[in-house]
A and B are shown apart, each in its own frame.
Chain A
């Protein structure tokens, strides 16, 4: 960062000012005009790349609100068809989250630089976790449908992988910041590393681990809702189908049920997360 600052000072030399008592001071130029210029160029370029046109927006934008208004009131008769896919969505995210969080523990153990001596194991695990975390869940689900076929299994696998990466990352950061005193004491009385981890580190990180897992589960319910778009099971399939048929009142019903489900799950999970803290 320092190198950059020096180059910046050379390009835009600091302004010299003379105080009333004759002393000369240097005022550093603010980088803000430069940042604004860069942002402005980026903005113009983005507008060009994305074919952004206000004219179209003003002409057609109203259509969007017409669609939204068609969703109200939702078709209540559609509700009975929704239970099965909705339950599938919840089951997918629950199974994926539970398995992912459980597998995250050994993964985080391997990625924690204070527990594993071999540098390369730590680095490889960390890189794998980062890659898994950056892959969008929908893309993972799409790949999974090729391997596991269409259906809930593909969605569960996608959610499992994301949870593993997300919880794994937060957990190894926790482990690396944990107090090592008890761990060293247990090792010195002859416990193996895994045993010492189990009795000295794990209790320290357990509340946070459970809380992260619950939080991830909340998010996963939202993700799972759209995974059906790529054929990975759940309610997303219906959403896509109904939008395709322009049956917006049913779309409204699906979105309403989804909102209620997400709200209920968030309330329950928040209750438990507060207890854990």
Chain B
């Protein structure tokens, strides 16, 4: 037996595990196929698909470059404003919740209950919060802001907690030993450690919130989603095209700049 053969036989064999997993996966796949009903496809589907593609390649340039408050540019600014304000509010509300659920700061039961609350907030989809807030405040961008703020809290607090639990406490001990007051310890020992991390988390969440905000318009919570759904329901695919182009370009720009900013923040 030469070296190559030896190596071949030495490789771990877990065929039985692999085969079982594959069979289960295949079974689930077949089971999931039953969900799709091809009979539902309408004859006009192909024609509509063609129209959509034509519309996207021949966007309504006037709508796209219009600066009035009906144009795509203004709608995008409104969407950014919703995401921005929502992120700011959410990130302030998340700070106390994060400290309350950090197990190295508060007693175990308190942190456990706050964690459950955060999980509950996170599980509900943003769209549902949007529909609920519409019942409370009515349609409009204000509803969008509140929805984004509430949705952000869950994830922001969770990421904050990770940063808080990673705090380097030896710095605080050395500050105590040279006689710093509690305020000084917070100002010079804790804030510098957390600030960059929190800021990076906030920027990341802003990036996500922008996507959420662009969708919230579909339920009437302001931003670019509402004109999008109107244009679609009226089969005005040129308008749909210009709105989608604006949206995709905006999200790509924000994603790119947020990645750069966060890299700068984390690497110092």
Q: Which residue of A lies closest to B78 (CB)?
A: A49
Residues of B within 8 A of A64 (CB): 132-133, 136
B35 with A156: CB separation less than 8 A? yes
B136 with A63: CB separation less than 8 A? yes
Q: Which residue of B lies closest to A50 (CB)?
A: B141
A67 with B132: CB separation less than 8 A? yes
Q: List 23 A-B contacts (CB under 8 A).
A: A46-B82, A46-B85, A50-B81, A50-B82, A60-B137, A64-B136, A67-B136, A130-B252, A131-B248, A134-B252, A135-B244, A136-B211, A148-B40, A226-B127, A226-B128, A229-B127, A229-B219, A230-B218, A233-B35, A239-B128, A251-B128, A255-B123, A259-B120
B183 at the interface (CB under 8 A from A): no
A212 at the interface (CB under 8 A from B): no
Residues of B within 8 A of A229 (CB): 127, 218-219
Could you say which of A57, A138, A225 has the most chain B C-beta atoms within 10 Å of its C-beta? A138
How many Å lie between the Cα of A46 and that of B225 in the bound state? 18
How many Å lie between the Cα of A193 and that of B29 in the bound state? 30
Question: Using a CB–CB distance below 8 Å, which chain B residues touch chain A?
Answer: 25, 28-29, 31-38, 40-42, 45-46, 48-49, 52, 77-78, 80-82, 84-85, 88, 120, 123-125, 127-128, 131-133, 135-137, 140-142, 144-146, 211, 214-215, 218-219, 222, 225, 228-229, 232, 244, 247-248, 251-252, 255
How many Å lie between the Cα of A229 and that of B85 in the bound state? 26
Q: Which A118-149 residues have a C-beta within 8 angstroms of B?
A: 130-131, 134-136, 138-139, 142-143, 146-149
Q: Which residue of A lies closest to B33 (CB)?
A: A95
Residues of B within 8 A of A142 (CB): 218, 229, 232
Q: Which residue of A lies closest to B28 (CB)?
A: A94
Q: Which A144-186 residues have a C-beta within 8 angstroms of B?
A: 146-153, 156
Additional A-B contacts beyond A46-B84, A50-B145, A135-B244 (5; CB < 8 A)? A57-B137, A92-B32, A142-B229, A146-B52, A151-B37
Expressed in whole angstroms, the minimum distance between the Cβ of A261 and any Cβ of chain B is 10
Q: Which residue of B lies closest to A222 (CB)?
A: B125
Task: State which of B28, B36, B251 has its C-beta within 8 Å of the C-beta of A153.
Answer: B36
A56 with B142: CB separation less than 8 A? yes
The list of the 7 closest CB pairs from A to B, nearest first, reads A91-B35, A46-B81, A50-B141, A91-B32, A95-B32, A49-B81, A149-B40
